[in-house]
Amino acid sequence: MLITFCSFSQNSDWELLQEFEGVKIYQKTADCAFNKGFDEQRHLFKFENTNSEKVTLSWRYLKWYDETCSNCESMDEDTHQIVLEPNEIAAGECDRENKLELQLFVKFNSGQEFLRKDSRLTKFEITDLKLIK
């Protein structure tokens, strides 16, 4: 299974990307302000288990910065896994330390783009979706 997304509009509502074997996958883009360090724009994900049983979901992110895939050659990079209880929801937040598998860096805000050489996430794909019940 493959999900591709490349538009980064500012929205506050979750947008449904796909339902995969009873797990709904949502996304939204958020401007994240931090007490320390630079503010960032992040792509956040939410996974909702609509099954009546516990599931383990694994997936991989492919990321394009400035139209160039940064991890297409490495099959193990950006592979993630999450366990969801029946009807549980796990959602990404503007947090540098928790639930990092549920967010992707897009760009720095507040004029700090030089730290990534003006680089920004221009496309991503959620691929290699697998679900174990």
d(CA 81, CA 49): 14
Report, as an integer, the average pLDDT of 79-90.
97
Return the domain boundaries, the chain: 2-132
Instruction: Write the CA distances from 94 to 70, 116, 122, integer angstroms.
Output: 23, 19, 19
pTM: 0.83
CATH topology of domain 2-132: Immunoglobulin-like (2.60.40)
Query: Out of 2-6, 21-25, 79-83, 100-104, which region has the weakest mean confidence (pLDDT)?
Result: 2-6
Report, as an integer, the average pLDDT of 39-45.
92
pLDDT at 79 exceeding the cut of 70:
yes
Joined together, the tokens standing for residue 44 give: 């956040």
Identify whether the C-beta of residue 12 lies closer than 8 Å to the C-beta of residue 28.
Answer: yes
